[in-house]
Structure 1
């Protein structure tokens, strides 16, 4: 019997081009997933409001995971949910900012999105200003630019860990966050899909391009590494064979997803 597939994907540098943020090169695979009713779960450092806009543009209707796992959103009608569900993990944003302020007062040199204007965020990230405004609406994480030395960064990371927080490197920014990660949200949703599909075999596919995606990829049945600036840092045990794209961004994403769909008998 044909297995049920659930696809989890990072966005920046993976499904979205690292420079233009375009996903158009992945359109054939996106259409094939939709035609076969295969859920595409966006799993990103982006905020919930950013991801709603992207889902609408891509014509994707499925649960999504925002801010590296800080929030899981299940829209009404998905996973047999009559109303929208919002599940929070980790500490709220205001508590996170209190801890970061203490570290800054102790000498940590960084700039977070909360410190930057909409214009500054747009300039640093390559986003348009309306997109940057949505990127600043955080629920449980804070993107940072580190302005100190490597040695100071190690001290900063250790200090955050003592407070139960983590510092994770993404494509452009460091992300200060709680003990949740992308994998936790993926596990939560995969369990819900398994309950929904009953006794049918469910195979999870995860795609990512940076160390921020490592745990999500390790949790998937099929990890797919999309070629990118930091993709060589994604390494797996000999027992886990990861698919690696030849091309970066949405072009590589498209090829890998189409190949996997054919492998599992989806036309």
Structure 2
């Protein structure tokens, strides 16, 4: 019996990567099984292209990837048989975001964005090594920030962003200011590319741990919510196939993926 073609779309921080240590090693058994079975693992994150490139090298991952919560999809040169990587952009530039945020700050909005921090400050807030913190600042279409005001002020801030056709999405550590795009847009775009490559629509599995994964989870055939800091805020409508991990982070990722591989005969 022929196996259905599967494809994995996975968030990183708090999902494939440990929330505190950024380790992916507890997911090694599942990652090795996926690689042996020829099942693509598409990394989808609020991280920048510069950050994800480093992680892809560690994981020996050669698939396209989704950066900055869906601000862009990067198609690697070898994957396309081309000379250079190609980035497909979906939203407003970071320059536009920073201009709007500066206006809101002048109106009294209390926040601290990545653009406001030195590399050393960002490393302290995130726990990243300084070189990785520098990579995290090389952004193109989103601006993560720490909110420093009240809940009421946050609602007013979100409403002001909406008037500028921008969104505020909560991640595991930061709020993310972004355009009207989402990880789900990148996933749908790539699903079309993989459908062309495989000659059939693959069964899509999405894994995430926070509200900024919500739409990507909803757009997949199978949704996996990884236990985490904000995972209880991810509410999925009644669906045929969804699960929540018992363990957090990469250990939970590993268990759920291995269970799904068994279910589909891999």
Relative to 1, partners in 2 of residues 1:80 and 1:264: Cα closer, same or farther, differing over 3 Å?
A: farther
Counterpart for residue 128 of structure 2: 127
Where in structure 1 are there 5+ consecutive unaligned residues? none
2:206 matched to which residue of 1? Answer: 206
Return the alpha-carbon distance in structure 1 between the equivalents of residues 112 and 150 of structure 2.
14
Matched, 1:229 2:229: yes
Counterpart Cα distance in 2 of 1:87 and 1:44: 15
Which residue of 1 is the match for residue 113 of structure 2? 112
Report deviation, 1:201: 4.3
CA contact (8 A) 2:184 2:219 kept: yes
Q: How high is the TM-score relative to the length of structure 2? A: 0.97
Distance 1:254 1:79 in 2: 29
- Deviation of residue 239 (structure 1)? 3.1
Residue 257 to residue 79, structure 1, CA distance change in 2 (3 Å): farther
1:12 alignment partner in structure 2: 13
Residue pair 2:221, 2:241 contacting (<8 A) in 1 also = no
Give the structure-1-normalised TM-score: 0.97
Deviations 1:1-56 (A, max 9, x none): 31111100000000000010000000111111111111100000000000000000
Partner of 2:69: 68
2:143, 2:32 → 1: CA distance? 33
**Aligned counterpart, 1:179:** 180
Q: RMSD across aligned C-alpha pairs, in angstroms? A: 1.1
The residue that corresponds to 1:77 in the other structure is 78
What's the secondary structure of 2:215's corresponding residue?
Answer: helix
Query: Would you say 1:43 and 2:41 are equivalent positions?
Result: no
Aligned counterparts of 1:67 and 1:7: Cα–Cα separation in 2: 18
Q: What runs of 5+ residues in structure 2 fail to find an aligned partner?
A: none
Describe the SS at the equivalent of 1:239.
Answer: coil
Contact 2:224–2:242, Cα closer than 8 Å, also in 1:
yes
Deviation per CA, 1:185-217, whole angstroms, max 9, x where unpaired?
Answer: 00000011111111x341000000001100000
Work out the CA distance in 1 between the residues paired with 2:82 and 2:63: 11
User: 1:188 — aligned with what?
Assistant: 189
Instruction: Report the CA distance between 1:137 and its aligned residue.
Output: 0.6
State how far apart, in whole Å, the 1-side matches of 2:26 and 2:62 are.
19
Maintained 8 Å contact 1:79/1:193: no
Alignment of 1:126-165 (within 5 A): 126-165=127-166
Question: 1:111-161 CA distances to partner (integer Å, 9 max, x unpaired)?
Answer: 100000111100011111111010011110000001111111000000000
User: When the two structures are aligned, how many residues end up with a matched partner?
Assistant: 265
